[in-house]
Structure 1
Amino acid sequence: MKRAVLNLAGTVGKTTIVGHMLAPRMPGAPVLAIESINAAADSLGIEVEKVKGDQFRRIFADLVALDDAIIDIGASNIEDFLSGLAQFRGAHLEVDQYLVPVIPENKVQAETIATIKMLSSIGVPRDRIHIVFNRVRTGPQDEFPQVWAFAAAERTCIADPGAAVLENEVFDLLGQRGLTLAAALRDPTDYRARLRELGRNGDPALWQEYMDLHTIKALGTSADANLDEVFACLNRENE
């Protein structure tokens, strides 16, 4: 399975999708970051191959050769990437799923719709374009009215309420620590015990470190279960 994660809008949670959801659930799949400006999933300690969007011959070779891959496309590289897909015959079909993460802000919803239109314009079939609702508090229908209405009217993408990553501050804490959720949950350290041993009057920096890591574990189990559900939803949609 080859999955590309992209949106013309920035800060929509691509790192959450790539680093916390896809990478641990697609073992052995290389992460290809098509990025020239910002950090990608390597900021979480994940091994990433970086390439610019205008180096499409190299990207195309990877797409053809690999059975499984995660392609993280930076907002500044989308147009070059899609231009390459359009120029190389059949290249757009080398990717099995195009995941378009979106957060509730109106501007981001508009740019998400523009992204889907661009994918559709180069021939990507509806069943390969999947919206991933991110930072969800109540439900996709309520919080993403523009995207939801577009998906229902245009029928050029899949909008499933099950593909909803719930709002959880654990992702911000993980980003600050440069950790993946999977790595944090594998850590056997009892940070609650360490906090009690250190005491509230101990070293403030160490206290904060232990507190953050304890909080990540406390919040992480529900976040991981939610990501399991979203990943399972995407797999069902692909069947």
Structure 2
Amino acid sequence: MRGLPPTWQRLLLLNKSDLDQRDPGTGSSMKIAVLSYSGNVGKSLLSQHLLRPRIADAKMFYIESINAGGGDTQVSGGDFSSVMREVNICDNAIVDIGSSNIEKVLARVQAMKGVLEDFDYFLIPVIAKSKQENDTVRLIAHLDELGVGPEKIKVVCNQVEPGADASKLFTTLSPLLKSLGINWAQVHESETYALLGSSTIRNSTAVGFDFKAAIQKTGDPAAKRDLSSRQIIARLARGTDAELDGVFGRLFPAEAVVAKK
């Protein structure tokens, strides 16, 4: 484990069965809006791979996102009222607001007094580029104007180079987060996401599968190569999943409970 960030080293020593989705039997709900004024900051990836696996039975809502699929709900920014009608009847919900629709959504928010109180948290992804940092500062200020307190805002410094310190990369944002007491965490850049295809990180970890035995058992060279590739992806996925466990725990310490087995 040499060369890995400390959080990875600690979490990789844990048994995977000890960390899972938050316990659906607690009786509490968790509703999160994921939003940014900027595109290409990893908003949908964080919704799918950081939040969804760790919030039991969370219903996904996409406000005009090309990534919607399956049983998820996709609407335009002008249909924010219909989204909130559905969110209100869910125990757990994640609302992924596309950057091209955020202005429409915030305009609807101003017309629907108190609607932001229906969300427990607002997660803002950001990458270390000047425009994205400035957009994040502007969004935090706008949320403050709408009555959202800093305790409900969570920031993810995303796509950070392994070994880099986000507090030194995000020179515009870091002092603001510190002064306001906004909880934040960093997610490292990883090749895992590009290798997943249509799968998820959790499904790709292949915990309990003996790749070595499977490779030895088959006599088909193509099958051996495929199993070897899957083993590499599984190892990367386990490392990334462990990091995301730590990120979730830092952002939502009250919610990162150990699931009952």
- 1:48 aligned to which of 67, 72, 75: 72
Q: Give CA deviations for 1:69-103 in whole Å, capped at 9, x if unaligned.
A: 01111111111111112211110111110000111
1:182 has 2:202 as partner = yes
Within 1, Cα distance between the matches of 2:136 and 2:219?
A: 48
Between 218-227 and 54-63, report the one with greater CA deviation. Answer: 54-63
After TM superposition, the score normalised by the length of structure 1 is 0.82
Task: Quote how far apart the aligned CAs of 1:194 are.
Answer: 4.8
Within 1, Cα distance between the matches of 2:144 and 2:228?
A: 46
More helix by share: 1
Query: Paired residues, what number?
Result: 223
Within 2, Cα distance between the matches of 1:232 and 1:213?
A: 28
Q: Give CA deviations for 1:152-179 in whole Å, capped at 9, x if unaligned.
A: 34x2x6143xx211221101222xx121
Residues 90-129 of structure 1: pairs in structure 2 closer than 5 A: 90-129=114-153
Q: Do the aligned partners of residues 225 and 232 (structure 1) sit closer, same or farther apart at CA in structure 2, a change above 3 Å counting?
A: same
Number of the residue aligned with 1:39 = 67
Q: Give CA deviations for 1:177-208 in whole Å, capped at 9, x if unaligned.
A: 12110121247766665598544xx59xx95x
Aligned residues with identical type, % of pairs: 30
Q: Give CA deviations for 1:202-223 in whole Å, capped at 9, x if unaligned.
A: 59xx95x656533321211111
Within 1, Cα distance between the matches of 2:116 and 2:136?
A: 18
1:169 has 2:169 as partner = no
Within 1, Cα distance between the matches of 2:130 and 2:220?
A: 46
Between 179-188 and 133-142, report the one with greater CA deviation. Answer: 179-188
Moved >4 Å (runs of 4+): 187-198, 209-212
Q: Do the aligned partners of residues 211 and 125 (structure 1) sit closer, same or farther apart at CA in structure 2, a change above 3 Å counting?
A: same
After TM superposition, the score normalised by the length of structure 2 is 0.76
Cα RMSD after superposing both structures: 2.6
Letter in 2 for 1:91: V
Task: Quote how far apart the aligned CAs of 1:66 are.
Answer: 2.3
Q: Do the aligned partners of residues 79 and 211 (structure 1) sit closer, same or farther apart at CA in structure 2, a change above 3 Å counting?
A: farther
8 A Cα contact 1:82 1:119, kept in partner: no
Task: Quote how far apart the aligned CAs of 1:65 are.
Answer: 2.2
Letter in 1 for 2:177: A
Q: Any gaps of 5 or more consecutive residues in structure 2?
A: 1-29, 257-261
